[in-house]
Structure 1
Amino acid sequence: MTASLAEFDAIVAVARLRNFRAAAAELGLSPSALSHAVAAFEARLGVRLFNRTTRSVSLTDAGEQFLAQIVPALGDIHRAVEAINSHRETPAGHLRINSSVGAARMILTPLFLEYLRRYPEMKLTLVTEGRLIDIVEQGFDAGIRLAEAVPQDMIAVPIGGEIRTIVVGAPAYFARFPVPLVPGDLLRQRCIRARLASGAVWHWEFERRSERVAIDVPGSLTLDESSLMVEAALAGEGLAFVNEWAVARHVADGRLIPVLEDWTPPYPGICLYYPGRRHVPAGLRALIDLIRELNP
C-alpha cells in the first residue's frame, strides 16, 4: 500500500487533536474532506485507526501502534524538507501560529499580510484562542502572547513596543456618573466586567509608582471578548478596561473618554515565541526577520 505525506500528516493531526473539525482547520481542509480521506486510508490499510462517536475521536490499539511508529519518521522527513527549503531564495511551506485574539487583531495587517505579500509560496494558518496552550504538543510552529505569558523555555521575539490597558467610558455614561479619580472610586461605578479563559472574573489591576491595587469591579454585564466590551462602552453601558490600541480611534474622535490614566502605566507588549530546541523552519525564520525589520 502506498500513501502520501499529506495523508500521514492528516492521520497525525486527527490523533493529536482528537477532533476532525480542529484537524481540518489546521490542515486547511473541510471536515468532510478530511473524514473521507482518513476513512479511505483506513480502508486501504484494512484496519480501523480511530474510534469515532458524535462527541469524541480516539485511537484504536492498532492506531496507537501505527502512530508510535510513523511520528518519529515523519519528523525526520519534515526536517529534511525544511533543510532543503532553507536553500531556496524564498521560503515555501505552511506556518501555523497560535495567538490571542487581541494580539492577532493588532498585527494581522502590518505583519501577517505583509509576510504573505513578501513570501507568496508560504501558507499561514492563524488560530486564535484565549487560553494559553502548549504550542509544541498542539503542532504549532510558534505562538503570540503578552511577554509576561510566554513560557520560560521558549525563545521570545518582541513585536512592537510597550502597550497599555486603559479605562474608558462614553460621554453618555459620564453624564450619569462622576469621573473616577482613584481606583477605589470604581466601586461606586458601573463597570463592564471581563471573564478570563479560565472562567474567573478578572480583577482590574492598577499601579502608580510603588502602589498596586486590584479591584473586583461591580457591574451587571460580564463579557469575554474585548471588542464586545468596547461596543458596550460606546453604548454607555459602563466603563471598560481594554487595550489602548483597541479604542484609540474612539478616544481620538471623542466617543470614549479615558480616565485613571496616571494609574495605568505601559507594560511589555506582545511577543512571538517558539521552542529553542528545535530547528527553526525557513518560513518561521523569514517571519522573525520581518518582525525585526519592522520593529528595529
Structure 2
Amino acid sequence: MESTELAELAAFAAVAKHLSFRQAATERGTSSSAMSHSIRSLETRVGVRLFHRTTRSVSLTEAGEMLFARLSPALMDMRAAVDDLNSFRATPFGTVRINVPNSIAPFVLGDAMEALLKGNPGLKLEVVATDSLIDIVEEGYDAGIRFGERLSQDMIAVRIKSSFRFTVVGSPSYFAGKQMPIAPYELKHHTCIRYAFPSGTIFNWEFFKNGEIVRVEVNGQLTVDSQELMVDAAARGLGLAYVWEDRAAPYLRDGRLTACLEDWCAVEEGLFLYFPSRRHQSAGLRALIEAMKA
C-alpha cells in the first residue's frame, strides 16, 4: 500500500472518530481543508461515499461504518508496532494525550511534567484540562485523571496522589461583623460562591464528621466555573468559597483568606491515573505512569 493511501486512511479514521473535520485536523496537525481533500480523494479512489456532510454535521454512511470498523484495529496494530521500536531507543518518542480535571491540574501535573519531558526529549505531552466528564476512549486520550469513585470497571487505575481535601474559606473583610459557621447547616445564613460544572449542574458542598455526611445546596449572588475565580472572589470579600485546600494555600498563608468548618472538611478519596485495560500500552504512556507515581 502506498504512503498516500495510508495517509488518506489515517485521515478517514480521524474524521470517523471525531465526526468533525476540525477536530480531526487538530489531532493530525493539519488543516480542515487538507483533511477534506484527503477524504474526497479517498472516496474518489474507492468509488463510494464514506460520509454524509451538511453545514452542521458529519456522519458515516453504511460503507463508512464498515470501513471504520475494519480499519480501527489495523491502525491500532500499526501504531503498536511502531511504538514497539521504543525498545531499541534510549527514551520513548511520540505523543501522549491526557485528560485531567481543570480544578486540580496544577497540583498533580507540575513536577511530573517536568521530569517526564526533560527525561524524554523525544516525547510530546498533550494535556487537556476540563471538569467535564468524558469518555477518554471515545475522545482519543491515552489516559485520564480522576478520583476513584468516578472510574468505570473496564479501566486500569494507578494511584498517583494519596488524598485531596476541600476547605471553606472567607476573607477577613467578609467575616467582619459576622460569626463564622461552626456547622454546615449555618451556611444558609452566609453568602456563598457557587461552582457550576460545564454541564450547568451546581456543585453541592459536601461535609463529613463522625460518620455523618452532609450535603449543602448553598446560595449566593455569584456562580463561576473556575476554582481560581472562586478563590479570588472570596479574597475580595464576595462570599465563602469551597475549594481545594492546595488552591487556597497561598491565600491562607498570607492572611487574605481564613478557613472555617475545618473539622467538617474530610480528606477526599485518592487520585488515580487511569487508562483502558484492553488498549496497547505505549512506551510514552508507561513513562507517564512512572513519572506520576514518582
Residue aligned with 2:116, SS: helix
SS at match of 2:104: helix
Q: Could you report, residue by residue, the CA deviation over 1:135-173 in whole angstroms, capped at 9, with x for unpaired residues?
A: 223221111112222222222112232110111111121
| TM-score, normalising length: structure 1 | 0.89
Contact 1:233 1:240 (8 Å CA) reproduced: yes
- Summarize the alignment of residues 265-276 of structure 1 with structure 2, pairs less than 5 Å apart: 265-276=266-277
Residue 23 (structure 2) aligns with:
22
**Does residue 241 of structure 2 align to residue 240 of structure 1?**
yes
- Distance (Å, rounded) in 2 between the aligned partners of 1:71 and 1:147: 30
Q: 140-149 vs 77-86, which deviates more?
A: 77-86
Q: Does 1:287 align with 2:288?
A: yes
1:204 and 1:267 map into 2 onto residues whose CA distance is 13
Please give the residue correspondences for 1:19-168 in structure 2 after superposition, counting only pairs within 5 Å: 19-42=20-43, 47-168=48-169
> Offset of 1:285 from its aligned partner?
0.7
Shift of 1:206: 0.4
- Whether 2:197 is the aligned partner of 1:196: answer yes
Q: 1:146 to 1:30 in 2, by over 3 A?
A: farther
Once structures 1 and 2 are overlaid, which stretch shifts more, 222-231 or 40-49? 40-49
- CA separation in 1, counterparts of 2:169 and 2:32? 42
Shift of residue 251 of structure 1? Answer: 0.9
TM-superposed CA distance for 1:60, in Å, is 2.8
- Change in Cα spacing, 1:86 to 1:279, as seen in structure 2 (3 Å) is farther
The residue that corresponds to 1:186 in the other structure is 187
Moved more, 282-291 or 45-54: 45-54
Contact 1:103/1:270 (<8 A) preserved: no
C-alpha change, 1:119 and 1:61, in structure 2 (3 Å) is: same
Distance 1:113 1:18, change over 3 A: farther
**1:101 Cα deviation after fit:** 0.9
Deviates more, 1:63-72 or 1:185-194: 63-72
Local SS of the residue matching 2:121: coil
Question: How far apart, CA to CA, are the structure 2 residues paired with 1:5 and 1:124?
Answer: 25
Q: Which runs of 5+ in 2 are unaligned?
A: none
Normalized against structure 2, the TM-score is what?
0.90
What are the ranges of 5 or more consecutive residues in structure 1 without an aligned counterpart? none
Alpha-carbon spacing, 1:175–1:32, altered in 2? closer, same or farther (3 Å): farther
Q: 1:5 Cα deviation (Å)?
A: 4.5
Kindly, what percent of the aligned residue pairs are identical? 48
Structure 2 contact 103–131 (Cα < 8 Å) conserved? no
Q: Is the 8 Å Cα contact of residues 103 and 144 (structure 1) preserved in structure 2?
A: no
C-alpha deviation, 1:28, in angstroms: 3.7
Deviation at 1:273, TM superposition (A): 0.6
Distance 1:111 1:7, change over 3 A: farther
Q: 1:30 to 1:174 in 2, by over 3 A?
A: farther
Q: 1:247 to 1:142 in 2, by over 3 A?
A: same
Aligned 8 A contact 1:49 1:60 in 2: yes
From the superposition, tell whether residues 35 and 88 of structure 1 become closer, same or farther in structure 2 (CA, over 3 Å): same
1:214-229 equivalent positions in 2, closer than 5 A: 214-229=215-230
Corresponding residue SS for 1:84? helix
Deviations 1:30-66 (A, max 9, x none): 4455445444554555554323333211123332233
Structure 1 equivalent of residue 207 of structure 2 = 206
Partner letter of residue 133 of structure 1?
I
Q: Which amino acid aligns with 1:17?
A: H
2-side partners of 1:229 and 1:33: how far apart? 42
Matched positions, count: 293
